[in-house]
Homo-oligomer: A and B are copies of this chain.
Amino acid sequence: MRKCLNNQTIIESSTDLRRARLRDALVVAAEQAIAREGLHSLRARALAQEVGCAVGAIYNVVKDLDDLVLLVNARTLATLERDLSAADQASERRGPDAAIARLVRMALAYLDFAAAHTPRWRTLFEHRMPAGRDVPAWYREQQQRLFGYVEELLLELQAQESRVRRALLARSLFSAVHGLVVLGLEEKLQTIPLPVLREQVRFVVTAIGRGMVEG
Nearest Cβ in chain B — how far from A166, in angstroms? 13
Which of A168, A177, A208 has the most chain B CB atoms inside 10 A of its CB? A208
Nearest Cβ in chain B — how far from A157, in angstroms? 11
Q: Tell me which of B129, B203, B212, B214 contacts A172 (CB under 8 A).
A: B203
Nearest Cβ in chain B — how far from A184, in angstroms? 7
Q: Tell me which of B183, B196, B214 contacts A210 (CB under 8 A).
A: B214
Q: A192 to chain B: which residues have CB within 8 Å? A: 171
The reply to whether the CB of A3 lies closer than 8 angstroms to some CB of chain B is: no
Q: Tell me which of B171, B179, B189, B196 contacts A143 (CB under 8 A).
A: B189
| Per-residue contact bits, chain A 159-202, to B (CB 8 Å; 1 contact, 0 not) | 00000000011011011111110111011110010001000100
Using known A-B contacts A203-B215, A204-B208, A211-B206, determine if residue A175 contacts B168 with beta carbons closer than 8 Å: no
Nearest Cβ in chain B — how far from A38, in angstroms? 10
| Per-residue contact bits, chain A 13-54, to B (CB 8 Å; 1 contact, 0 not) | 000000000000000000000000000000000000000000
Using known A-B contacts A207-B207, A207-B211, A207-B215, determine if residue A135 contacts B188 with beta carbons closer than 8 Å: yes
The reply to whether the CB of A128 lies closer than 8 angstroms to some CB of chain B is: yes
Are A128 and B187 touching (Cβ within 8 A)?
A: yes
* 24 CB-based A-B contacts, threshold 8 Å: A125-B186, A128-B187, A128-B188, A171-B183, A171-B200, A172-B180, A175-B179, A175-B180, A175-B183, A176-B176, A176-B204, A177-B179, A178-B182, A179-B179, A179-B180, A179-B182, A182-B182, A204-B211, A206-B215, A207-B208, A207-B210, A208-B208, A208-B211, A211-B211
The 8 closest A-B pairs by CB, nearest first: A179-B179, A207-B211, A176-B176, A175-B179, A178-B179, A175-B180, A175-B183, A172-B200
